[in-house]
Structure 1
Amino acid sequence: MTPTPDTCLRIRDLAAEEQPREKLRRRGPRSLTDAELLAILLRNGVRGASALDLARRLLLACDHDLHELSRRQLQDLTRTPGVGPVKAMQVVAALELGRRREASPHRDLPLLCDSGSCYRYLRPLLADLHHEEFHLLCLNRANRLLGAHVISRGGTTGTVADARTIFRTALQHGSVTSLVLAHNHPSGQAHPSAADVRLTAKLGRAARDLDLHLLDHVIVAGPRYYSFADHQLLDGETG
């Protein structure tokens, strides 16, 4: 069978201004499509498929969802025909670098004043995990982040949040006044369980006894999140 022109087209067969590297040099990275950026990472193709073809295959395998691509492990990526271990590692390394850039502390203490800002901070830490983790954010009176702590790690269906560990950790920060609780749902279900609601109410009462304010409990579910504060559930009410 004769291969189709699209399958055999090499990047160097494209017009110079349409070749990903040349396009990046001339117009900047924001002018490139996701496939073109991935093609630059992959560097070269294989017999019968250009780097751009391989990039399109990778994106097709995750329904063109970069969040889903970030969750893929090496063995997942190498299932794509033409993508070997080295190319898979190049993609994983680039995505991890982007994740770390999002999570790295800024010169100023991050301001976490609502559920949206909390989620933006937490997303690179929790969104792509395949197991549950429970995190604690400690804030000062101005809602600036004093410290972020991993309280526990669990399996795919749950983790333990020990109240003594949470408050002992929070009180290490002398100027702490507010707390944000956070955990992830690897299933992508952005809704609290009954146990989540009970735990939040219990920790909220304990925080008040220590003169601390529970600002929110955020569940990170991939590209979505659930805020207990937004749903008036911090005290266990139905919201």
Structure 2
Amino acid sequence: MWQGVQEDALPASGTRYAAHRHAVPQHASLRHAATQHASTQHASTQHASTQHASTQHASTQHASPRQHPAPNPERLPNGGTFRPGARSNRLPEPSLAFIRRAIGPGSVEVPATPQPLQLTDTSPLRHWPERERPRERLLRHGAAALSDAELLAILLRTGNRGQSAVALAKQLLADSGTSLSRLLTTEPEQLMRMDGLGPARATTLAVVVELARRVLVEKMEDSILINSPEIVKEYLGITLRGLAREVFVVIFLNAQHRLIRADQLFAGTLAQTPVFPREVVKRALELNAAAVILAHNHPSGLPTPSEADRILTRTLQTALGHVDVRVLDHIIVAGGQHHSFSVHGEL
């Protein structure tokens, strides 16, 4: 309702004007009021949003461990620390007494103290301490520091079921009368009859002896044998020692007493060997030898020459002398002992 204007005092045309003139302020007032109301609502919304953001920011700040550091770590008995809420803690080195106190009596089964491995000959070598294994000991101290059984164990590589390689080596030595030379000079066919030795191991042992013999042959080839009796004895020891039957060997030399060839010409039984002087002379002529060294073994273990040995030596001296071939020595090998006819003045 418009106030301050009397409707009948205005002309008809002015009525519309007055109404229009007075309606403008009222319409503007309404728009202003609406604008203020919208501004108020917008301000309220912004304030609410600001409060919500502040609340979230405060919550985030409260959750951050940097703003609220954890309490000081608690020190545990027996060392170590514990910080509540931490992802990880440094624990102490536990002792049985500490575990019992922490958990309570009767709650912990204490394991038995492990006992060190008691090594015997039945233990596989892989279970032995590394410093005690034959191969490692050889590398550290040299082959001379090892026993015969340990050296054999390296060749055998493995043992049998319930028996280490060292135990097997000891057994083989015992079966050979504790004689390493007898074991190594045994024919492979006989070795394979022994418990624990198959074709592979038997041939390995045979190869070792043959390599040693060839090394000594090279030494003899480079030496004047009349001046090197020890090399001859070493060679004959490798060749004849430990054999189960008698064999007869002739070493043929040239005019400078250097090695031409060493041949095993005859083999016999446990007690005797048939020797044919004509075959010895024939071989000496084939090789154009100027001198010979005769040798044979005594499986009985005694190097003392028999009367038959003395007769054979004189017979060969006479037969070879007819073709200008000298007999420099006749050596008998028995175990680790030697008998030289030359040294004893029996030539």
Q: Find the aligned partners of 1:60 and 1:154 in 2 and give their Cα distance.
A: 26
Alignment of 1:202 with 2:315, yes or no, is yes
Which residue matches 1:53?
Answer: 167
Query: Deviation of residue 92 (structure 1)?
Result: 2.8
Query: Deviation of residue 158 (structure 1)?
Result: 1.0
Q: Find the aligned partners of 1:5 and 1:101 in 2 and give their Cα distance.
A: 34
> Which letter does structure 2 place at the counterpart of 1:112?
L
Alignment of 1:157 with 2:267, yes or no, is no
Which residue matches 1:188?
Answer: 301
Q: Find the aligned partners of 2:262 and 2:119 in 1 and give their Cα distance.
A: 53
Which residue matches 1:93?
Answer: 203
Q: Find the aligned partners of 1:192 and 1:14 in 2 and give their Cα distance.
A: 48
TM-score normalised to structure 2 length: 0.56
TM-score normalised to structure 1 length: 0.78
Pick the aligned partner of 2:245 from 117, 131, 134: 131
Give CA-to-partner distance per residue, 1:39-70, whole Å, 9 cap, x none.
33333344543333333333444464312332
Query: Deviation of residue 200 (structure 1)?
Result: 0.9
Higher relative contact order structure (alpha carbons within 8 Å, sequence separation ≥ 6): 1
**1:196 match: secondary structure:** helix
Which residue matches 2:291?
Answer: 178
Change (3 A) 1:120 1:37: closer
**1:106 match: secondary structure:** helix
Give CA-to-partner distance per residue, 1:104-131, whole Å, 9 cap, x none.
2428455422543322222222223222
Could you tell me the percent identity over the aligned residues? Answer: 35
Give CA-to-partner distance per residue, 1:190-214, whole Å, 9 cap, x none.
0111111112112223333322211
CA-based RMSD: 2.7
- Bigger Rg over Cα: 2
Query: Deviation of residue 17 (structure 1)?
Result: 2.2
Pick the aligned partner of 1:70 from 159, 179, 184: 184
Pick the aligned partner of 1:106 from 187, 205, 218: 218
Change (3 A) 1:91 1:149: same
Q: Find the aligned partners of 1:47 and 1:153 in 2 and give their Cα distance.
A: 38
Change (3 A) 1:118 1:28: closer
Q: Find the aligned partners of 1:67 and 1:29 in 2 and give their Cα distance.
A: 17
Q: Find the aligned partners of 1:46 and 1:151 in 2 and give their Cα distance.
A: 39
Change (3 A) 1:26 1:7: closer
- Give unmatched runs, 5+ long, in structure 2: 1-117
Structure whose residues are more often helix by fraction? 2
**1:180 match: secondary structure:** strand
> Which letter does structure 2 place at the counterpart of 1:210?
V
**2:126 match: secondary structure:** helix
Change (3 A) 1:26 1:198: closer
Which residue matches 1:121?
Answer: 235
Could you tell me whether the CA contact under 8 Å between 1:99 and 1:124 is conserved in 2? yes
Change (3 A) 1:46 1:91: closer
Q: Find the aligned partners of 2:127 and 2:256 in 1 and give their Cα distance.
A: 57
Could you tell me whether the CA contact under 8 Å between 2:119 and 2:128 is conserved in 1? no
Q: Find the aligned partners of 2:285 and 2:194 in 1 and give their Cα distance.
A: 43
**1:186 match: secondary structure:** coil
Pick the aligned partner of 1:213 from 326, 329, 342: 326
